[in-house]
Every structure is written in structure tokens, then in C-alpha cells.
Structure 1
Amino acid sequence: MRILLVGAGGVGDAIAKIAARRRFFDLMVVSDYDLSRAERTIAWITARHGDQNGRFVAARIDASNPDDVTAVARTYGVTHVMNAVEPTFVPTVFAGALAADADYLDMAMSLSEPHPTDPHRETGVKLGDDQFAVAPDWEKAGRMALVGMGVEPGLSDVFARYAVDHLFSEVDELGTRDGANLVVRDASGVEMFAPSFSIWTTIEECLNPPVIWERERGWFTTAPFSEPETFTFPEGIGEVECVNVEHEEVLLMPRWLDAKRVTFKYGLGDEFIGILKTLNRLGLDSVTPVTVRSEQGPVAVAPRDVVAAGLPDPATLGPLMTGKTCAGVWVIGTGTDGRPREVYLYHVADNEWTMAEYEAQCVVWQTALNPVIALELLASGVWSGLGVLGPEAFDAVPFLDLMKRSESAGGYGQDWGFEDRLA
């Protein structure tokens, strides 16, 4: 396997660092628009793990140009393109991979467009629609695009597949629930507002109309931050208020899994929701450029890019962050014994541990872990397929076994949790 990693930001950097401990691939091309970022990642790997005998090389890439993605992929003879840049670049990296005759993975799917007249009830263009529309092209080419293979979506979808296959005879709801007790403090110890993931992506998914799926209605939307509920997260995180947010799981799971309802709720907190609402009211969530005066003359800039530029890079927050983050799926339905059952399957990442082991903050590290496991399963042939597929299209057991098995036994040493919520 020869991998082109597109993007050496927080998640891309963590993907390369996790992969450096594995032997399933021959080459990983760490690429970025800023070549120095890719070189920095490889320098860290060399310093931590020694000479890699040419397994890691740095390259410059323009992710906005599909021809450039194709050219870099062909130059290095890659078999798999791993997309680790903002979802706005999904169409170009996706197309570039297919043109290069390479398989493809991403962690976030092509962007949605709200319904033009009734956005809080009807779907418009849904997340991933543009990718699924060209699935026949991938099948005809004999190639596979594994989409939404991060943590959420990604691991959450693997958990859902496991629950449907092994724990339930009928599922009433597959509910992804994400929460954390992370705190970021500045150098003087004062708590600060600093999102632990890309603010560009966070604005996109939190302010777009959330999508819900029900067997009787199909996909429909609701207002942002709707249906608040208090969910208790494990391992000391505790109670967190969660609200509906647009997310890929709701668009992926119903394609392969039988359930009456599919939802995604995120634990954002009142302060974060308030800030997002303020950005929306001020128009600072817009991606449409506005003209700004500068000493060099008028400059066109998207307000959302200004917000992103004014906040700390999430990849740099690790030393300032404490706490844990939890990703998982709450499954409600009828167990295989015919009795009512509620189960929460989850994975927790502790920032102290991820910083010590990888110098990567826990949110980006937890996201990066899962595509590396998926790549290893694809390299071994345990997972295989053609066309555009989500994580739930594959058997979950090999993934969860490899994830949990100790590193000394050839696994990743990452335990995953399982809680029965009904007495």
C-alpha cells in the first residue's frame, strides 16, 4: 500500500504519527500546501522512531486543484488517497483520486446546501450527496471510496454496525452522542474560548439545519440546536447537554443499517452555542467574500476565514488542554433475547495520554486513529469493496478487535466501552 496523505494539519499530522508505528504500508506521502508542515511531521516521526527507510516523504500539494492531486498521486504511484483537509476540498481531492486510479478515504463528506425555501423542515443537498451521485463511476473504475471514516462519522458507524449485527433484533434509534469535559486555559491559567476542532467545520455543521432520519419520513431537517437533552457520558465526563447538529452519520447509517430513527447530538455547552448564534447574527459564519479595506487596497475575504484566522490553531492547543473526549452511539431497541435494551458503545481519549504519546491533542488524535485502522484492514484485504461506501458497509468485528488488541499483540491498544443503560 502506498498512501498519499493530503493535509498535514492537526488530524493529518496525527494520522502520520499513528501510522509510523505500523508496518502495513510501503510509503506515506505527507503532503500540504505549506510544505514545511509536512516536513515538520516527518521530522517528529524520525526523532521519535528513528530512520524510516524512506517510508515517509514530504510533498507540496494544492488540494483545491484535482489535477494537482492526481499529479502528486501518480508521481509516487499511490494506491490510496487519504483526505485530511477541510471538507470544502472534498470534491477536488475526491475527483483527483479517481483520476489517479487510486482508492480514497475521507473523514468528512461533501458539503450540504440547505433547502432554498423550507430549510428547517426539508433537506436540500445533503452531506455526501455529491459523492454518492458518482458512485457508478467508482464502481466502473474498479475503485473504492470509503467516506466518513474518522471518529464521528467513522468509529460511531462501526459501533452502530456492531450493535445491529450482534446486540439487537430490532433498533428503534441509532443516536450518535458526542461529549467532553475539555478545558483550555491560557499561559496564566485563565479559561479561554478555543474550539478543539476546526472552527470552519464546526460552524458549518452546527449552524446548518440538522438532519434526522425516520423510517416513515426519510430524511428531514429541524432548527439548529433543537431537542436538547442531558446525556451522561462515561469515565468521569458526566452529564452534558446535547443538541441536534448536522452530521454525516444520519446520512450514512440508514443506507446500510435497519433502524426506525437515526440522530446525531453534540455536547456544545451554552457558551459555545451562544457564540455560534452571535457569529450567525453578525454574518461572520458566511463563506461569501466581502470587500475589506487595507493599506494595500481592497481585499476580498470570507468572514468565516477571518474567524478561523483569529482563533488558535486546534493543533496547537494540546499543551493548554485538560480533560477527556467521548465519541459513541446510544442504541435503543429490542435485544436479541426479545427484551427492551439500551446500550451505549463508546471510545474515550484522554488529552494527557495523547499528548504524552503523540504530542497531539485528544480530539484530533481520536479522529485520526480510525482511518489508520481502516487503511490497515484494507491493506490486509479484510475489508474490501467497490464504489462509494460508508464504514457501516463493512463487518465491524475485525475493526474493533484490531483497535482493542494490545500493541504488543499487533493491535492499537485502544479499549472501547460498552454500557447497558437499562437495569
Structure 2
Amino acid sequence: MGKVLIIGAGGVSQVTTWKCAMLPEVFEEICLASRTKAKCDKIAQMLPRPIRTAQLDADNVEETVALIKDFKPDLVVNLALPYQDLSIMDACLATGVDYLDTANYEPPDTAKFEYSWQWAYHDRFKDKGIMALLGSGFDPGVTSVMTMHALKHHFDEIHTIDIIDCNAGSHGMPFATNFNPEINIREVTAKGRYWENGQWVETEPLSVKREFELPENLGTMNIYLMYHEELESLAKFVPGLKRARFWMSFSDNYLKHLEVLQNVGMTGIEPVNFNGQEIIPLQFLKALLPDPASLGPLTKGHTCIGVMVEGVKDGKARKYYIYNICDHEACYAEVKSQAISYTTGVPAMIGAKMLLTGVWRGQGVFNIEQFDPDPFMDDLNRFGLPWKEEFMEGFDD
């Protein structure tokens, strides 16, 4: 069907590239590019068929443009850092190539992430006749598609959404993050925020806590209210929505380490002078922590990510839960990755498949909620992220 350029060579990229390589009828040619070409080459050696690799500084628009012109992809899949979203989008605009990512833009010097910067590209992408698909990961991504599936098939109106992201697995390390440490810690230490009655309500970081009983006897976990970018797009694209919240589980051990690191300034993003050299504490901490891609063989247990929805169908109140359970060890057996990377990498491949096959098309910048959820939901079942749904008692406030 087409050629895809994948930018980034972390854990998510490994999964996405592997899954793309398994579908030659859709992804005819693949080029994997990153600042460190050796990382791309390492991934390439694992795959079931040959791919091209390249060195690329994705902050450099001209360099990205040159690679696009050389490889001539039909789609650029951005799995680099969120700081690089706009420079990669600029390169796609300059070359007239479709764009996809899994996380919205975040300025390097401000712990703030929102869609405004990328939504501002809509008219330019439309005028160029190309498409950008934002947030084709799990959350954001699958959770938004799950919500639209619920609206299409089970609700006339959705009033409340609670996205619940639990990792009931363990890697046995004293302290490690399951995805990019810099992004992970910036998200967790930011203030919480949720949508209610047409406005944003802000909370202190990790100050709102609940217990959540996971399905299928996976146990009970502490979950904490956080801000996550899909709340912004869901508030925009789900009509009549009264409240949307995001919750994530954290172990006491993780929070203890994080508190100490915060107290000594290691999670800061302002440069400090050390022996005459400017360093950013959080970036230095990232260099000390285990690479999330290295956690695959160590991690056991499951993830459980889903959406609790309340609303109305045929004039009657309805409560509904849709979720995926993913096994860390099964993911590693398939693509040498733990489930955190797997649950983001597979939806990135599916989103790319939607574009390359023409199932989802448009001109401009779009969020994943704006398209028919059914083909995406079918592919989740087909490519390793089967989902379950049930009507149940609501999420306890």
C-alpha cells in the first residue's frame, strides 16, 4: 500500500516497526530513523524482513526534509519526543507527506502539553492536501476510540468519562519508568486537571486518590487523578460531555522514590550550572535511569487500561466499562518488549494502517476521535490488543 518513515528508536518504535514489518501488504517499505543510528540498526536486526535505517536529528527540519525527499514515504510516523512534533510536522508540510504521532506537543522548557500548537496547523495541512492524525497510541489513542465506540453502539449521550490506566506488573528494579523517564516524570509531577461542566478544574499533583478493583482478579490498585491530553480532545469531540477524568496507578515504592527525587531537585527542568556546564536535572536523571526498552525481559504481570463511561440510552441511565488487559511476558515473547511499549506501539501501527489503506482520510489536522471507531477496534482484536466490554456499576466517586 505504501512506504512509511518511522522516526524514533525507543521501546514504542521497536513495537511499531516490528508490527509494520509483519504486514508487508500494507507497509511495503520501511525506513527507521533516529539521532542514534545504532539503535535503529539494533531494531532492524530483530525484524522478519529487511528495512532501511538512517541517522536523523528530528529537531532539524532541513535534515528531516532531506530524508523525506530521499526515501519518499507516503506517511511519517513520529515516535520521537513530544518536543519534536512541530519540527516534524513542518517537514511534512514542506514535502507534502501525511503525518501521525502518539503524543501531543510539549515545549522543552515548560511542563505543559496541549493540542493548541498542533491544531493551529490545520489550515496549512488542509491547503497542502495532506493529513495529520494526532494521538494514535493507547492513551491518547485507544481510550478515545473506545469512547467513540461506546457512543456509536451503546449510548445516545455520554455524560462522564473516566480513563483508568493501571500497570499491575513489576520489573523488580528499585526505580525505573516504563516509558521515557523525562516525559513520564514531567507528567506525573504536573498538577492534575479534569474537565467538568465546561471548564477545567485543577488539583495538586497526585492529591486525589481512589482504590480501583481491576477486572479478571488482577487485584486492587491505588489510582491517582492526573491530567492527560486526551481529556482535551474528548471534551471537544464528545457532545454533551459533563465530566472527563484520567487516572493512573502508582506503587507506593514509585511514589516514595519520586518524592525524594523531587525534594532534592532532580526532577527540575530549569538548567543549573555544574562545574561550568549547564545541565537540566531531569535530563541528567534520565541518563541514570534504566532505558525502558531494557525492562522487557524483567517485567511480569499485566496492564489494564480502559474507559468507564456513564450516560443515557433510550432515556435510561447506563454504566459501561471497556478495557484491554495485556500480558508483559506475552509481549516480550512476541516483539521483545514489555506491555507499556506494546500498548502504544500497536495502535501507532494500526493508525498508520488506517491512513495508508485509505480507511481514514481527510485534509488537515485530526484527532483520533473524529473517525469511525469500528475498523480500528476490529484491528485491535486482530493485532494483539483484544478488548472486552461490560455493563456494570459505575465508578465510585
TM-score using structure 1 length? 0.88
1:376 to 353, 362, 371: 353
Identify which of 265, 270, 288 aligns with 1:310: 288
Provide the rounded CA distance (Å) in 1 between the counterparts of 2:232 and 2:261: 26
Once the two structures are TM-superposed, the CA of residue 229 in structure 1 deviates from its matched residue by 1.3
The match for 2:10 is 9
**In structure 2, how many angstroms separate the alpha carbons of the residues matched to 1:254 and 1:375?**
24
Residues 107, 153 of structure 1: 8 Å contact kept: yes
* In structure 2, C-alpha distance between the alignment counterparts of 1:91 and 1:236, rounded to whole Å: 43
- Aligned equivalent of 2:386: 415
Residue 202 of structure 1 deviates from its aligned partner by 0.9
Q: In structure 2, the residue corresponding to 1:63 is in which secondary structure?
A: coil
What is the deviation of 1:348? Answer: 1.5
The alpha carbon displacement at 1:71 in A equals 1.4
In the alignment, the residues of structure 1 paired with residue 155 and residue 263 of structure 2 have an alpha-carbon distance, to the nearest angstrom, of 44
Cα–Cα, structure 1 residues 284 and 375, in superposed 2: closer, same or farther, change >3 Å? same
Candidates 82, 89, 94, aligned match of 1:99: 94
TM-score, length of structure 2 as denominator length: 0.93
Gap regions ≥5 residues in structure 2: none
Q: Which residue of 2 aligns with 1:234?
A: 215
Distance in 2 between residues matched to 1:66 and 1:274, nearest whole Å = 40
Q: Which runs of 4+ in 1 moved over 3 A?
A: 112-115
Whole-angstrom distance in 2 between the partners of 1:62 and 1:126? 22
| Aligned counterpart, 1:121 | none
CA-CA distance at 1:114 after TM superposition: 11
State the one-letter code of the partner of 1:329. V
Q: CA deviation at 1:377?
A: 1.5
Counterpart secondary structure, 2:309? strand
Asked if structure 1 preserves the Cα contact closer than 8 Å seen for 2:5 and 2:77, the reply is yes
Q: Which residue of 2 is the match for residue 68 of structure 1?
A: 63
1:303 maps to amino acid: P
- The reply to whether residue 157 of structure 1 matches residue 144 of structure 2 is yes
Q: Is the 8 A contact 1:175 1:329 kept in 2?
A: yes
The AA in structure 2 aligned to 1:245 is M
Q: Which residue of 1 aligns with 2:45?
A: 43
Shift of 1:276: 2.7
Identical-pair percentage: 29
Equivalent position SS for 1:250: helix
What one-letter code is carried by the residue in structure 1 that aligns with 2:21? A
Deviations 1:331-362, CA, capped at 9 Å, x for gaps: 1122x243322211111210110111111111
Aligned partners of 2:108, 2:11: CA distance in 1, in Å? 27
Q: Kindly indicate whether residue 195 of structure 2 is the aligned counterpart of residue 213 of structure 1.
A: yes
Q: 1:140, 1:329 → 2: CA distance? A: 35
Match of 2:300 among 313, 322, 326: 322
2:74 & 2:203 partners in 1: Cα distance? Answer: 40
| Kept in 1: contact 2:7–2:76 (CA 8 A) | yes
Q: Secondary structure at the match of 1:317?
A: helix
Q: Which residue of 2 aligns with 1:188?
A: none
Match of 1:170 in 2: 157
Question: In the superposition, relative to structure 1, how do residues 73 and 235 fare at CA in structure 2: closer, same or farther (>3 Å)?
Answer: farther
Q: Is the 8 A contact 1:114 1:208 kept in 2?
A: no
1:34 deviates by: 0.7
Shift of 1:125: 6.3
Q: Distance in 2 between matches of 1:413 and 1:381?
A: 22
Who is 1:254 aligned against?
A: 235
Shift of 1:126: 5.1
In the alignment, structure 1 residue 127 sits paired with structure 2 residue 114: yes
Distance in 2 (alpha carbons) for counterparts of 1:395 and 1:274: 42
Counterpart of 2:335 (choices 334, 343, 358) is: 358
Distance in 2 (CA, whole Å) between partners of 1:232 and 1:61 is 44
Within 1, Cα distance between the matches of 2:175 and 2:366? 36
Task: Assess, with a 3 A threshold, how the Cα gap between structure 1 residues 292 and 243 changes in structure 2: closer, same or farther.
Answer: same
Alpha-carbon distance change, 94 to 236 in structure 1, aligned in 2, over 3 angstroms: farther
Pair 1:277–1:43, CA change in 2 (3 A):
same
Equivalent position SS for 1:237: coil
Relative to 1, partners in 2 of residues 1:149 and 1:182: Cα closer, same or farther, differing over 3 Å? same
Which of 348, 357, 363 is the aligned partner of 2:325? 348
Q: Which residue of 1 aligns with 2:180?
A: 198
Cα RMSD, aligned residues only = 2.0
| CA distance in 2: counterparts of 1:235 and 1:180, whole angstroms | 14
SS at match of 1:149: coil
Q: Distance in 1 between matches of 2:113 and 2:335?
A: 35
Offset of residue 67 of structure 1: 1.7
What is the one-letter code of the residue matched to 1:10? G
Whether the 8 Å contact between 1:113 and 1:126 is mirrored in structure 2 is no
